[in-house]
Amino acid sequence: MTAPTEGEHRHRVGGRRRSVARLAAVQALYQIEANREVDPRSVVREFVRHRFDQEIEGDRLGEADPELFADIVCGVTDDRERLDTEISAALTEDWPLSRLDSVLRAILRAGAYELVHRPDVPPGSRSANTQRSPMPSSPARSRGSRTVSSITSPTHCARATSSRHGWHHLRRTPR
């Protein structure tokens, strides 16, 4: 087995920083939804200053990509109405967005935001659609995981482009 090249190491470290940024963004979006009066930019500042690469309650969040984190949090907040409309179109009438757990809503909003607004995330890309975010243990965990997987799967995205319900309206827009 050969040692990874410097480029491969940087790619893995960069990928890890992006994963930590996505996890932190979901946490921040959850916090913002729980306290709607809070300014999203103050939440971003608080995370960058006091949570990134710090130990919190025995867990270390790790090094994150602060630009990606800020873009997801502020971008979801700014485009939330549109994202919610599109996510809702992909859900069944029995499971409207408001019925889903707030952590699941944050995951869906963050993923939809990246697919729409991030030029470095190709739409329908397997890597973008299978990013795993830890979900809290709960009886609804497996149902929530299936919901995220089915809504963001490449198969669903491809099928939705030809249906009147789904992600077909989600197109990249300039920020």
pLDDT tens, position by position, 156-168 = 443 343 333 344 4
Structural domains in the chain (count) = 2
Statement: residue 48 has pLDDT above 50: yes
- Residue 91 in contact with residue 151, Cβ under 8 Å? yes
Residues 99 and 70 reside in one and the same domain: no
Of these ranges, 2-11, 14-23, 161-170, the one predicted with the greatest mean pLDDT is 14-23
CA distance 76 to 41: 12
Domain hosting 1: range is 1-78
Do 73 and 114 lie in one domain? The reply is no
Could you tell me the pTM of the whole model? 0.67
Where is the domain boundary, 78, 107, 123? 78
**Per-residue CA distances from 168 to 79, 83, 101 (Å):** 17, 12, 24
* 149 and 85 within one domain: yes
